Amino acid sequence: MKNNEKTNKPLLRQNAEEQQKLHANKAVDTFTTEADNLKLIHELQVLQIDLKMKNEELAQSKLALRKNEEDYRQLAESSTTLVYRLLLKPELKFDYVSPSATAITGYSPEDHYNDPQLGFKLVHPDDRMLLENTTIYSKGEPLELRWIRKDGLVIWTEQRNVLLFDENNEPYAIEGNARDISDRKNKDDNK
Whether residues 90 and 72 share a domain: the answer is: no
Q: What is the mean pLDDT of residues 154-181?
A: 94
CA dist list (Å): 140 to 160, 163, 185: 5, 8, 21
Among the candidates 78, 97, 121, a domain finishes at: 78
**Contacts from 162-167 at CB under 8 Å and sequence distance 24+?**
162/138, 163/135, 163/136, 163/138, 166/89
Whether residues 62 and 87 share a domain: the answer is: no
Burial label, 119 (beta-carbon count in 10 A; 0-12, 13-18, 19+): buried
* Between 92 and 73, the higher pLDDT residue: 92
Total domains in the fold of the chain? 2
Whether residues 35 and 104 share a domain: the answer is: no
Per-residue pLDDT, 44: 87
Whether residues 68 and 13 share a domain: the answer is: yes
Whether residues 86 and 140 share a domain: the answer is: yes
Whether residues 13 and 73 share a domain: the answer is: yes
22 pLDDT band, cuts 50/70/90, is: low
178 pLDDT band, cuts 50/70/90, is: very high
Whether residues 88 and 44 share a domain: the answer is: no
CA dist 148 and 119 (Å) reads 10
Q: What is the mean pLDDT of residues 160-185?
A: 93
Whether residues 50 and 117 share a domain: the answer is: no
Whether residues 72 and 85 share a domain: the answer is: no
Per-residue pLDDT, 27: 55
- Report pLDDT digits (tens) over 131-144: 887 776 667 789 99
Per-residue pLDDT, 17: 73
Whether residues 91 and 183 share a domain: the answer is: yes
Whether residues 33 and 113 share a domain: the answer is: no
Average pLDDT over all residues of the chain = 85
User: What's the CATH number where 128 sits?
Assistant: 3.30.450.20
For residue 187, is pLDDT > 70? yes
Given CA atoms 79, 160, 120, 115 in this order, what sign does their dihedral have? negative
Whether residues 18 and 50 share a domain: the answer is: yes
Question: Which residue range(s) make up the domain with 155?
Answer: 80-189
